[in-house]
Homo-oligomer: A and B are copies of this chain.
């Protein structure tokens, strides 16, 4: 990159964020890519501490992701789940045999007092990942979804109930006392970032927990590097997941513009999808309007390059 220091910070949740992160890791020198990841959807299950968004990033960036499932590991087997089923155990959260190893080892290291950052770095290294993955905090934050039928821990809402209950709001338990990841704070303090990219992840349950870690919204907003958000909503639909359904249930229009308004003064640029071109005629916020869908490898690379090109332009101002 022909700009200042060449480092980029991406804010990411699970699948959508990981796709863009993979694109960025391919157009940048991979070690220049830093990703701060949502841990609000982490949970304790079957004795294990499971970090779905971190794992999606690990598996995607290492090229091990299961492309047909869209989650988990390629070439996975399910013998533990089958045996668990025969014991009458909880199998609603599908854990493949190979995937289990990640959770077992993370849980063991955490039980020895190793911080989540160190655990994540070790897992990333053993998978050959050169980019830097930062859990949003080393502290425990757990997202609760407030539904009209009561409160649900995030994975119970998301996986067990398949996002069916109507959403009234969200609570990030533990966030008030959570400390931002020192690695992310250092990146900002050192003024090493050329851009902050908000990936096309769910604004409410993937990006918001990262932003709500005390001091993070302000740190990102006040950073001299531009903050660029890519819309997770295209033509009124979420590319993946419940974002559009949540927006309707929260009384918001399910539009990309509403997401841009939600991020408000955090962002310097909003990237709309070309399908929304007609609807954003009056948009006054700085924006791009490009093809944001990432179906193929070249889609990811093209979108990542669009973002880098903007960053280079921005740095010349």
Q: Which residues of A contact B (CB under 8 A)?
A: 44-49, 73, 77, 79-84, 86-90, 97-105, 107-108, 111, 122-123, 126-127
Contacts and interface: CB of A to CB of B under 8 A. Distances in A.
A119 to B, nearest CB: 10
Interface-central residue, A48, A84, A89, A101, by most chain B CB under 10 Å = A101
A61 to B, nearest CB: 15
B102 A100 contact: no
B126 A97 contact: no
Given A77-B77, A77-B97, A87 B102 contact: yes
- A interface majority secondary structure: helix
A83 B107 CA distance: 15
A103 B100 CA distance: 12
B126 A104 contact: no
Contacts of A98: 79-80, 82-83
Contacts of A86: 101, 126
13 contacts: A46-B107, A47-B49, A47-B111, A73-B83, A79-B79, A79-B98, A80-B104, A82-B101, A83-B99, A86-B126, A87-B102, A89-B108, A90-B105
A101 B126 contact: no
A310 B47 CA distance: 46
A86 B87 CA distance: 29
A84 B104 CA distance: 8
A45 to B, nearest CB: 7
